[in-house]
Amino acid sequence: MGFKVNWVAVRGRDSDAVCRDMGLRRSGIRSDTPKPQYSGAELSEDCFLLVEDTADELVEDTWDLARISRGCEVIGFSVIESVGHSEVVGWRDGRRVWGVVCVPDDDPCLLVEGELPVELHPALAELRAYEASADDPEDIDYQSFPTYLAELLVGYRYDRILGERGEERFEVLDTEDTAEQLPRVSTGIVNALAEIGFRPRVRPDDYGMAFSAAGPAPGTTRTVVAYIERGRHGGVRVSGRARLTSTVVDEVLAAMPKDAWPTSDKEGDTREYALDSVDFGAFEQSFYMTLTYGVRAQDGSDGVKWFMDRLRGPVTDWYDRRGTLAKIAELAKQPNKWGAVLPHKVRTAVALAAACGDAAAAADLMTWYLDRDDYAPKGAFGGTDSRERATAFDRALAARFPDYARHRPQPNDVESVQSTH
């Protein structure tokens, strides 16, 4: 679909004053590129850039440039790549001074209005000379011309990083409504989860706000993650993810030798492997599993209700279906929507059952996993696992848990397993 972006560069006004005048608040969140819906960057000591990502209207229809440009100078820019429209305009002291607009279906498709700044005269003269010598007018890239002029004036292109990667020149800006909704939704969810026994937790691999409570089966933890984000077109959106985790499993897997892991993993990986997980959106009548909810109420209460209704209803049912070690082991056999059994899901379920007292369930699952026929397109173990790696995992687990070893066939090595096929 391409970019659909507006930006304004304001010269001669303090950046904080510009933000206040446009009803925006600084968030303190930095980025290399503009983030939805609004972002700002200091281009120089006296020039502030404000970008609207995923714009709905053109720059002069979005902002009152007459008001913003009082006592200063404003350069405005718009691009809609899907239709080939682009424009750059100049305002000063409350009036429009000049503009260059490309509308592909118009004739002429490039309209130049007013007196352009002197620094743009050479570029316009070069374009006119090229027009005079071109055999086919369709060979001229008019759409990029306003973008080129805008870059000459302020040093920024909408389709490139500002400065060097890692400098994070942009700061996310929020509307007044968004700035007020974000903490209200966050606080509401924290308080509602606390009432039912969930406590905040922090891990290096957590994204969003993570909370945990006792799990439905021995050795397990219910972990729910609330994602409270700025919408691409403004406002606040809420989504969630439920995970069944286990510190017992994490410790067992961390001690596994390198050859017991699928090839996509690394020895000594300390990440948390979920026994299972599901997006809250999976319980909606929607094609999108990661469905998010757009908060409407100014106090954020509807976003909190949406999250908690799903947690108390379908998510709780989902956890209850994993209420025993045997149930978790059985569910690990289920293939995903592409027909593949997940190696991590099998390993975590086997490790949990072996460590928490159901060696029979652990051994049954491991036997099933190793004894499958190679019916899948990439074989029974997919593209990352193998019978050798799964057997190495089985052998390491048997060495650690004697009861598990007693339930597994002996001798427990690759040759004995392969001989059964």
Q: Per residue in 138-179, pLDDT tens?
A: 778 899 999 999 999 999 999 999 999 999 999 999 999 999
Regarding whether 339 and 245 lie in a shared domain, the answer is: no
Lowest-confidence pick of 69-73, 260-264, 266-270, 372-376: 266-270
Q: Which helix (H) or strand (E) holds 144?
A: helix 144-154
Lowest-confidence pick of 257-266, 280-289, 393-402: 280-289
> Please, what's the b/e burial string for 129-140 (b: 16 or more CB within 10 A of its CB; e: otherwise)?
eeeeeeeeeeee
Residue 414: what pLDDT? 44
Regarding whether 408 and 302 lie in a shared domain, the answer is: no
Regarding whether 335 and 285 lie in a shared domain, the answer is: no
Tell me the average pLDDT of the chain. 90
Regarding whether 153 and 187 lie in a shared domain, the answer is: no
Regarding whether 332 and 315 lie in a shared domain, the answer is: no
CA distances from 238 to 30, 235, 304, 329 (A): 21, 10, 8, 32
Relative to beta strand 47-52, strand 38-44 is antiparallel
Alpha-carbon span 300 to 281, nearest angstrom: 19
Lowest-confidence pick of 90-94, 232-236, 351-355: 232-236
Regarding whether 365 and 249 lie in a shared domain, the answer is: no
Paired with 89 in beta bridges are: 76, 99
Residue 379: what pLDDT? 63
**Which among 140, 168, 196 is the end of a domain?**
168
Regarding whether 181 and 162 lie in a shared domain, the answer is: no
Domain CATH for 54: 3.30.70.1270
| Helix residue ranges per DSSP H, 258-356 | 301-310, 316-320, 325-331, 343-355
Average pLDDT over residues 345-360: 97
Percent of the chain with pLDDT strictly greater than 70: 91
Domain count, the chain: 3
> What does pTM read for this prediction?
0.83
Alpha-carbon span 234 to 175, nearest angstrom: 8
Paired with 412 in beta bridges are: none
**Which among 136, 168, 200 is the end of a domain?**
168
Instruction: Find the domain containing 389 and state its range.
Output: 325-418
Between 386 and 270, name the one with better pLDDT: 386
Q: What is the dihedral of CA 257, 262, 264, 268, to 10 degrees?
A: -20
Regarding whether 20 and 93 lie in a shared domain, the answer is: yes
The pair of three-digit structure tokens given for residue 332, joined into one six-digit string: 């690990």
- Residue with token string 């592909």: 104
CA distances from 250 to 105, 219, 245, 332 (A): 61, 11, 8, 17
pLDDT at 417 over 50: no
> Please, what's the b/e burial string for 32-54 (b: 16 or more CB within 10 A of its CB; e: otherwise)?
ebbbbbbbbbebeeebbbbbbbb
Regarding whether 150 and 13 lie in a shared domain, the answer is: yes
Q: Which of 216, 182, 211 is nearest to 196 (CA)?
A: 211
With a CB cutoff of 8 Å and minimum separation 6, the contacts of 10 are: 18, 47, 48, 50, 68, 69, 72, 73, 74
Lowest-confidence pick of 124-133, 187-196, 297-306: 124-133
pLDDT at 288 over 60: no
- Residue with token string 């972990």: 223
Regarding whether 227 and 308 lie in a shared domain, the answer is: yes
**Which among 320, 335, 364 is the end of a domain?**
320
Average pLDDT over residues 64-75: 96
Regarding whether 150 and 62 lie in a shared domain, the answer is: yes
Regarding whether 134 and 191 lie in a shared domain, the answer is: no
Percent of the chain with pLDDT strictly greater than 90: 75
The packing angle between helices 359-370 and 387-400, to 10°, is 160
